[in-house]
Every structure is written in C-alpha cells, then in structure tokens.
Amino acid sequence: MSQVTLHASTDRPQGSSNARRLRSAGSIPGVIYGEGVTPLPVAVNAKEFRSAVSGDQGLNSLITLDADGTSYLVMAREIQRHPVRGTVAHVDFQVVDPNKPVVAEVPLHVIGDAVEVRHADWEVDQQMFSLEIRTRPDRIPNFINVDISELKAGHTIRVSDLVLPDGVVAAAEPSVAVVATHAGRAAKATAGPDAATA
C-alpha cells in the first residue's frame, strides 16, 4: 500500500469566518484525532490534499501528516463538502496504528459473465456497490471483485459468498445481498404474472 506525506499547519485560528478565509486562501481546515490523541486543529493545502487522496486507494490512503514537525500516521475520514461547489470544506484525520485493524469502505467490482442468467432471459441486479471491511491499514484493498460467472437465475450472491483477501473480513451482515437476479421481460412473459424474483 502506498503512503504519502502531507504537511499541516497547527496554528490555524478557530471560528467559521476564519475557516472561510482559510478556504479562500487555498487551504482546508481539519482536525487530527484518535485514541490517545488530544484533538488538534490543523489546516492543509487543498491541492496537496487532493493529490494525497487521488490514487487508487482514495480516502483509504495512508498519510504521514507532518504537523509542524510532529508526524502522525493518519487516514482521511469525515469529509465535509461545500453544498454547491462540492469542494472539501473540512476533513477529519484519524490517527491509526499500522498493526491494528481499522474499518474502511472499498468499492465492489462485478466481473465475469453470468451466462446462465442471460440464457434464461433473466437480469443481474447489483445491489451493493461498496463494502465495509475490517483489516490493517496496509492491507486495505483498492477494490473487491464479485465474480458472477457461476451465478444462476433466481440465485443471489451475498456478503458471505465474497472472496476476500487474506486478513480482510467483512463488517457488513453476511446475509446482505450483493448481487441478485430477477426475471427479464421475456422470462416474465413466458412465466406469466406470477414469475418469481430473487
């Protein structure tokens, strides 16, 4: 897992008007927090922050935050955005222990071709697009593949069916549907109005 360094200033003035001035000057107000850490208000350069979280890991990137000479290993967590412009208005940096599990959200990528579903004139319905997992920060995958090659009409792939990397466990309920199937128009017409859906 890649790790980036981000510089932060710890002398930012408090208050909403000061926060607006910071944003106008190209900075983002934030706070460092975590177990055993007194919450510390900081400000980071907006462009540098975007660069830090623009890689494959996104907001799951491990960041070495240099706060005026003191280094913290953090992950960007609560992100507040401007309601109109969509720009980052505030960010919480959570201090993490590289040897302890954290909860992270990763995208789900559907791969393969559900041939049997297609031949039955049924359709594949992806119901979950990301998954909360627990693992060490350096083991967070960029994404998790959901292989639908063996999926059959009327069947469902659930969280418990996912193949996760070593050391990664799902934080979601095992019974939650990730990919389901339902009858397409042709199948419904053939089966009549009582055609079952999954």
**Is 3-96's fold the same as 103-191's?**
no
Q: What is the pLDDT of residue 191?
A: 56
Specify whether domain 103-191 bears CATH 3.10.20.30.
no
Indicate whether 13 pLDDT > 70. Answer: no
Question: What mean pLDDT value characterizes the chain?
Answer: 87
Q: What is the pLDDT confidence band of residue 1, given thresholds at 50, 70 and 90?
A: low
Contacts of 103 (CB under 8 A, 6+ apart): 132, 133, 134, 171
Residue 196 binned pLDDT confidence (cut-offs 50, 70, 90):
very low
Looking at 85-176, which runs of residues are DSSP E strands? Answer: 88-95, 102-111, 122-126, 130-135, 144-147, 157-158, 169-170
pLDDT-based confidence at 195, cuts 50/70/90? very low
Cα 24 from Cα 29, distance rounded (Å): 11
Query: How high is the pLDDT of residue 189?
Result: 58
pLDDT higher than threshold 80 for residue 160: yes
Q: Is the pLDDT of residue 53 over 80?
A: yes
Side chain identity at residue 127, one-letter code: Q
The CATH number of 3-96 is: 2.40.240.10
Query: Domain boundaries in the chain?
Result: 3-96, 103-191
Are the C-beta atoms of 24 and 82 separated by less than 8 Å?
Answer: no
pLDDT score of 146: 97
β-strands 130-135, 88-95 pairing: unpaired
Residue 88 pLDDT > 80, yes or no?
A: yes
The C-alpha atoms of residue 8 and residue 15 are separated, in whole angstroms, by 18
Q: Count other Cβ atoms within 10 Å, centred on residue 102.
A: 18
pLDDT in tens, 122-151: 999 999 999 999 999 989 999 999 999 999
Largest Cα–Cα distance in the chain? 71
**pTM for this predicted structure:** 0.78
Tell me the mean pLDDT in the region 3-13: 83
User: Binning pLDDT at 50, 70 and 90, where does residue 19 land?
Assistant: confident
pLDDT reading at 192 higher than 60? no
